[in-house]
Structure 1
Amino acid sequence: MKFTDGYWLSRPGLHPLHAVEVDDVRVDEAAGTMTVYAPTAVVRHRGDTLNRPVLTLTYSSPAPGVVTVRVEHHAGSLHRGPDFALHPEPGYRPVVKVDETAGVLQSGGLTVRVHRQGPWRVDFEQDGRPLTSSLTKSVGAIASDAGEHWVHEQLTLAPGEHVYGLGERFGPFVKNGQEVDVWNADGGTSSEQAYKNVPFYLTSAGYGVFVDHPEKVSLEVASEVNSRVQLSVPGQALTYHVIAGPEPKDVLRRYTALTGRPPRVPAWSYGLWLSTSFTTDYDEKTVTSFIDGMAERDLPLSVFHFDCFWMREYQWCDFTWDPRTFPDPQGMLTRLHERGLKVCVWINPYIAQRSPLFAEGAERGYLLRTDDGGTWQWDLWQAGMGLVDFTNPEATAWYLGHLDRLLDQGVDSFKTDFGERVPTDGVVWHDGSDPHRMHNYYAQLYNEAVFGLLERRRGSGEAVVFARAATAGGQQMPVHWGGDCDSTYSAMAESLRGGLSLAMSGFGYWSHDIGGFEGTPDAGVFKRWLAFGLLSSHSRLHGSGSYRVPWAFDDEAVDVARRFTHLKMRLMPYLGRLAEEVAAAGTPMMRPMVLEFPHDRATFGVETQYMLGDALLVAPVLRADGTVDAYLPAGRWTHLDPGTVADGGPVDGAVVDGSRWVTETHGFTSLPLLVRPGTVLPVGERSDRPDYAWAHGVTLHCVELSPGHDAEVLVPGGSGAPATFRVRREADSGTVVVTSVDAPAAWAVQVGERRVAASGPGEVRIEQ
């Protein structure tokens, strides 16, 4: 929140205390901490210490390249959880040195320097390079006439520095000038509200800041003091972490090491998901007709999703199939599995009063209680619904027991919807958690419980959910989708901005409703969204009151769906490699341009395109006339023809010089999809499913390799064995040489129009 009235004044009724200077610096060598005592006025003589509040700042480090700062006014306040689960490096201690001029804590290449002389100043540096500073009036404790308290910090921004992240936010990708409240809400995609609020931002200057509070965190990003980011939380203490780069990927690597890495997800999850949609009429006959229609039209389908009305109305959730429409659910699931499909069903954490489970849950204390001992209820969403209390281990086991029953029937995945509408007033959690801290954190407990069950039942790397709500650490329970958007070009752009912001918040995978959720898209919007959706990490056809099968729009929509679904299946060797980077380093599959090109200032504000991994530039068509403006960084970029590659042909397109914006016009079967110069793009031999042996029959497309290029290319295994290739371009002759000692029985190399097939270990040479 804002505390000032312009530059000089405080807002009426607010009384700030600011760190003015350093009185003392103390070091605890065993703990690896440096504690700074900062009076809130200049102390000229002993008498000035009377009736003078002092702020206490403690500096520490949980891992190299991360500095933790805790600001306290009164340290005796009662602390109630929950707290983010962090993963410090065991036994790590930073180096702390104090002399007459400064107290310095060094963590790897990251240094915090607290100046002991003069006005308050704290500098953060990486390898001698300035990152950000805390200056006069930066550190403050605020009290109000009403007895409220807040603590804030203000960290400087350099001229031209851009701020990103803070969760899945659908407004402008660059957060400068915005006021952001980190508070989960079910607000759709067209406002400042967000389903996934993450108190972490990353800047173009190559560092990040994580505010370690699950409650409401307010950030004024160059919007209260134009040259600073202000972080504030209610209460008497504030904890934040400064995370070093120098590259944005380094920041995400350190941040996800601290808060948890996204895991691998099963190969089948990358295929196309088809939903019943929300309020449409459906039964097994309807479902079968959709699946038959997809097969008849050569539209590969991996997952079928049953939305809310698989359960009976007013009884969400009772986890029981509606017998009027699904009299033989286990038989139906068996029949779907026999067709090679996985099955996902919709759930949420609410128990409606008409559900047979409500009375049981209320009696046993499994539902959130009110402070008078009753069960919290309201009528929004479901009549008289209660909320499962996941702080109660018995309640969690009870809830998961019903999901276990569904897994026994043949369900493979769950769409963990909702989790944002969590009350804060007049409620009591089983474990005594602070209701305000639990509001955002509830989504973590909910998704963690369901994802954990799937991991236990299916195994590591085989669990996947479709989640809507999240906060910091939520990246550990993928996949997440963008929530309820309109069916328009503007909403498609909103969704993309949300995905880009979430990627800068540590989330490795992301999806969205192809065609939009609210309303029925016109055929043009649907076809454009198909290309965007099938060039996302995960792809789902889903809507509200209308079906999303392609033939419901027109014949060309079927062609577009076929082309891009086949393309995605062919790209699985490449996508599989990106998934390894997600799990190993927290690098997202869908990457904002600035994440991949952090030294190209022209990428800093780009929000209408992205990199799918490091090699493919995707610019969705967001206008009805088919025109697209795309920024190409330096180099010669090669258009990838979706249809040609989907059919197993070469990357055969025009070459475009970069370091500039280009404007193109595309029909519905294409979009700007360009291969980065210097790329070896592995393309698979199958276009009918995602879970095949990716290395078998792979073709390595060598695109604009520079003389002297020498790199190793890993093709993950999928359902088969992985393979590693060394790709070189000889500096003198220009010949491309590819060798492998573990190559599969069949593979090939493609350079332009020339293709050479090979079998097993060996070498391929293609002269240019």
Structure 2
Amino acid sequence: MHPRDSTPRVAPPPPLVPVLLDPLAGACVVAAEDGVILDVRTTAGRTGTLRLRPATDNSLRITLRLDGVPTAPRISVVTAPADTGCLVERSPDTLTLRLGALALDVRLSPLTLELRGCHLRQATDVSDPGDRTIVLPLGVTELADGQLIYHDSWFTEPDEHFYGLGERFTGPDLRGQRVDCWVEDAQGSTGTRSYKAVPFLLSSRGYAVLVDTTTAASFDLAHSNTGAWSVTVPDEELDYYLITGTPTECLRTYRDLTGPALLPPRWAFGPWISGGFCRDSADEVRERARRIRELGFPCEVLHIDTYWQRPGCWSDMEWDTEAFPDPRGLLADLAQQGFHVSLWMNPYLSVDSPHFAEIDRNGWFLRVPSQGTWIGQVWNGAHPDSAVLDLTHPGAADWLRGRVRQVLATGVSVLKTDFGEAVPVAAVAHNGMTGDRLHNLYPLLFNDLVAEVTQEVAGHGLTWGRSTWTGGQRHGAKWTGDPNASWQDLASTVRAGLSLSLSGHPFWSHDIGGFHGTPDPELFVRWAQFGLLSPLSRFHGMTSRLPWDFGEEVYAAVLHAARLRTGLLPYVHRSAADAVRTGEPLARPMALDHPDRPDAHAADLQYLLGPDLLVAPLYAPGGRRQVWFPPGEWLPYAGSGGPIDGPAWRRVRIPLTAAPLWLRAGAHVL
């Protein structure tokens, strides 16, 4: 029998039910050379070890592990460089760890940590007038089922801003929010769910925190208490990195700890055009290609979505030979016309697939204890029930590698790695990992596998992915999921992309025009102008996003923006290479370079593309918006209007035919 999940999407872990709060009560030094090892005890008498170690020249690794906590299969997603030496100064009641510009004071009783420079201090004893603890101190909480969850808290300043934690449609500045790092099918772009979660928190005060876990880490960012922020981790240990420096320095350290971003091939920065989530065929693809070249519309990549495969078998990685009788011939013809081809894929297999029985028999699907293969509805009723390939199983991984290799060998350039968020909490994998640990890790395993084969066959490791976790920047490209064709979703997509920029992932895109529904002409133009000034650019949706299908006026405006993109490509290529080298994003939020300016934190619907282009997408009809101009002199790219000296807010008017773009005076971008 196969257990079936009738819910429309895979749910997050159930709410935690705390029974006993058990903070650390005291500590004694065991060793203090190139770091500190402390024996610790909790108020309830539990014992354990707290380790403070240098990681890089501006970061310390903090690890709390209590004795007797069961060990379960887990995978670290952070790799610290070779230990950096640090100086430890001791006195009877305190220790100080020094490395580079970082200095951490450790008070032993009561145990308290304080980071100098940004004056960051642990919140160890915060109570309400009734003497109830209202901020979770360093320690653990026992849950109703006996599980221990770890937590830590630090005081926050009233004017402090928080960024990062992945793709956040609610806005880059997370102060006042509670964020659960749990990868989900967001079902749109205006809610709190996210396809991309990264437990990397960036503060405007000159520090950052990176938690090494794949569990559902939760951050309370001055939400429950305006004077402190907390992190809760349901793992077997609390293992995180405390980083100091400017926001750009903290992002560089994120790169050092998790690996550099992949620089996409040069062709990937040109426009991508999709036939959309519609029935497709070789004849229709050829006609799109012919029309694109006939009109002279810039396009580097043609994307073919789900219908290159047979309906009901959308994970088999086999061409629908009725609709596409000669895939190799089609791809060869497209290559002669200068097109690269992208194909859609996902890591689930439907019960209707002819391969399902064999894979099930081999044990290559995720399973539920005592019930067999997990089968559920991951398509909200639009596709048959499916199972999830267990990519920790060598047999399942080899099977998928073979399918990917076979498709790429036909001449495909890149694969769109859709989904990946459906691992249920109750699942158990071949390597022993349970769903609560595998769920967030799975998108990395999925994209790693596809990237590996793509590198082997196509000579690059780019994937166009929807979901990710810490380290996913190594796959090169992410898009922000399935927004509605609305102004609200355009605005939330801008904010989500900038949130991802502040989470160590420099290359992102989105569905120009929105995915669900059909945009009106003005919305389509403004979304296209935004998309063609994003790190990567793709037209895609449930209905046509071919610019010439929206009328002559719209087509002229979008063609202008596409040609502008093409003219800027040398600048974009240089800026992208710099982003990989430095760990900084290609689309730079205002707060990244100006953390001390209140206006920069408010200007969360605009960004710099590279160092010298200011992009302010239109997010409402009418052609007007407020723009914050950073320090310096800014010139409208088309030469209309005079220069604007920043810092300053200006209400600007942008004609439908003009891109929302300004150039830093004296910069050379063309």
Partner of 2:630: 633
Kept in 2, the 8 Å contact 1:444–1:470? The answer is yes
How far, CA to CA, are the matches of 1:498 and 1:506 in structure 2?
Answer: 13
Judged with a 3 Å threshold, the aligned counterparts in structure 2 of structure 1 residues 132 and 414 are, in CA distance, closer, same or farther, namely farther
- State the Cα distance separating 1:55 from its structure 2 match: 5.5
> 1:148-187 alignment to 2 at 5 Å?
148-187=147-186
Aligned equivalent of 1:124, options 106, 115, 118: 115
> 1:571-650 alignment to 2 at 5 Å?
571-641=568-638
Aligned equivalent of 2:95, options 95, 103, 108: 103
Kept in 2, the 8 Å contact 1:27–1:96? The answer is no
Kept in 2, the 8 Å contact 1:189–1:491? The answer is yes
- State the Cα distance separating 1:373 from its structure 2 match: 6.8
Find the residue that maps to 1:479 and give its secondary structure. strand
Deviations 1:506-562 (CA, angstroms, capped at 9, x unpaired): 001000000000000001100000100000011000001x11101111112211221
- State the Cα distance separating 1:75 from its structure 2 match: 4.7
**Letter aligned with residue 571 of structure 1:** L
Partner of 2:561: 564
Kept in 1, the 8 Å contact 2:606–2:617? The answer is yes
Deviations 1:551-583 (CA, angstroms, capped at 9, x unpaired): 111112211221111111111221111111122
Find the residue that maps to 1:455 and give its secondary structure. helix
Which stretch shifts more, 378-387 or 548-557? 378-387
How far, CA to CA, are the matches of 1:323 and 1:70 in structure 2?
Answer: 55
How far, CA to CA, are the matches of 1:652 and 1:668 in structure 2?
Answer: 14
Kept in 1, the 8 Å contact 2:262–2:580? The answer is yes
Partner of 1:477: 475
Judged with a 3 Å threshold, the aligned counterparts in structure 2 of structure 1 residues 284 and 391 are, in CA distance, closer, same or farther, namely same
How far, CA to CA, are the matches of 2:225 and 2:629 in structure 1?
Answer: 34
- State the Cα distance separating 1:153 from its structure 2 match: 0.3
- Structure 1 residue 25 corresponds to structure 2 residue 29: yes
The alignment yields a C-alpha RMSD, in angstroms, of 1.9
Partner of 2:410: 409
Kept in 2, the 8 Å contact 1:204–1:604? The answer is no
How far, CA to CA, are the matches of 1:619 and 1:628 in structure 2?
Answer: 9
Deviations 1:203-230 (CA, angstroms, capped at 9, x unpaired): 1112110111111111111012212111
- Structure 1 residue 655 corresponds to structure 2 residue 660: no
Kept in 2, the 8 Å contact 1:303–1:342? The answer is yes
Find the residue that maps to 2:408 and give its secondary structure. helix
Judged with a 3 Å threshold, the aligned counterparts in structure 2 of structure 1 residues 526 and 583 are, in CA distance, closer, same or farther, namely same
- State the Cα distance separating 1:653 from its structure 2 match: 5.4
Judged with a 3 Å threshold, the aligned counterparts in structure 2 of structure 1 residues 90 and 13 are, in CA distance, closer, same or farther, namely closer
How far, CA to CA, are the matches of 1:380 and 1:76 in structure 2?
Answer: 34
Kept in 2, the 8 Å contact 1:25–1:98? The answer is no
> 1:346-357 alignment to 2 at 5 Å?
346-357=344-355
Which stretch shifts more, 330-339 or 75-84? 75-84
Partner of 1:680: 667
Partner of 1:142: 141
- State the Cα distance separating 1:383 from its structure 2 match: 1.8
Judged with a 3 Å threshold, the aligned counterparts in structure 2 of structure 1 residues 370 and 454 are, in CA distance, closer, same or farther, namely same
Partner of 1:64: 57
- State the Cα distance separating 1:131 from its structure 2 match: 3.8
Deviations 1:307-340 (CA, angstroms, capped at 9, x unpaired): 0111111112111111221111111111111110
Percent sequence identity over matched residues?
A: 33
Kept in 2, the 8 Å contact 1:368–1:387? The answer is yes
Deviations 1:588-638 (CA, angstroms, capped at 9, x unpaired): 101111112233331023211111111111000111111111001222211
**Letter aligned with residue 300 of structure 1:** P
**Letter aligned with residue 610 of structure 1:** Y
How far, CA to CA, are the matches of 2:64 and 2:255 in structure 1?
Answer: 24
Find the residue that maps to 2:243 and give its secondary structure. strand
**Letter aligned with residue 510 of structure 2:** H
How far, CA to CA, are the matches of 1:294 and 1:328 in structure 2?
Answer: 21
- State the Cα distance separating 1:120 from its structure 2 match: 3.5
- State the Cα distance separating 1:405 from its structure 2 match: 0.9
Kept in 2, the 8 Å contact 1:423–1:439? The answer is yes
- State the Cα distance separating 1:268 from its structure 2 match: 0.4
- State the Cα distance separating 1:95 from its structure 2 match: 2.5
Partner of 1:666: 654
How far, CA to CA, are the matches of 2:37 and 2:334 in structure 1?
Answer: 62
How far, CA to CA, are the matches of 1:228 and 1:465 in structure 2?
Answer: 39
Which stretch shifts more, 555-564 or 101-110? 101-110
- State the Cα distance separating 1:129 from its structure 2 match: 4.4
Which stretch shifts more, 153-162 or 483-492? 153-162
- Structure 1 residue 254 corresponds to structure 2 residue 267: no
- State the Cα distance separating 1:435 from its structure 2 match: 2.0
Deviations 1:164-192 (CA, angstroms, capped at 9, x unpaired): 01100100321011111111110221211
**Letter aligned with residue 194 of structure 1:** S
Find the residue that maps to 1:19 and give its secondary structure. strand
Kept in 2, the 8 Å contact 1:263–1:582? The answer is no
Kept in 1, the 8 Å contact 2:251–2:584? The answer is yes
Judged with a 3 Å threshold, the aligned counterparts in structure 2 of structure 1 residues 236 and 349 are, in CA distance, closer, same or farther, namely closer
How far, CA to CA, are the matches of 1:146 and 1:375 in structure 2?
Answer: 25
Judged with a 3 Å threshold, the aligned counterparts in structure 2 of structure 1 residues 93 and 434 are, in CA distance, closer, same or farther, namely farther
- State the Cα distance separating 1:13 from its structure 2 match: 5.7
Task: Name the TM-score, length of structure 1 as normaliser.
Answer: 0.81
Which stretch shifts more, 382-391 or 344-353? 382-391
How far, CA to CA, are the matches of 2:592 and 2:83 in structure 1?
Answer: 31
How far, CA to CA, are the matches of 2:560 and 2:293 in structure 1?
Answer: 14
How far, CA to CA, are the matches of 1:212 and 1:236 in structure 2?
Answer: 11
Which stretch shifts more, 298-307 or 368-377? 368-377
> 1:48-63 alignment to 2 at 5 Å?
52-54=45-47, 56-63=49-56
How far, CA to CA, are the matches of 1:255 and 1:380 in structure 2?
Answer: 33
Find the residue that maps to 1:569 and give its secondary structure. helix
Which structure's relative contact order is higher, taking Cα pairs within 8 Å and 6+ residues apart?
A: 2
Find the residue that maps to 1:469 and give its secondary structure. coil
> 1:167-566 alignment to 2 at 5 Å?
167-187=166-186, 188-245=188-245, 247-278=246-277, 280-372=278-370, 374-381=372-379, 382-425=383-426, 427-459=427-459, 462-544=460-542, 546-566=543-563
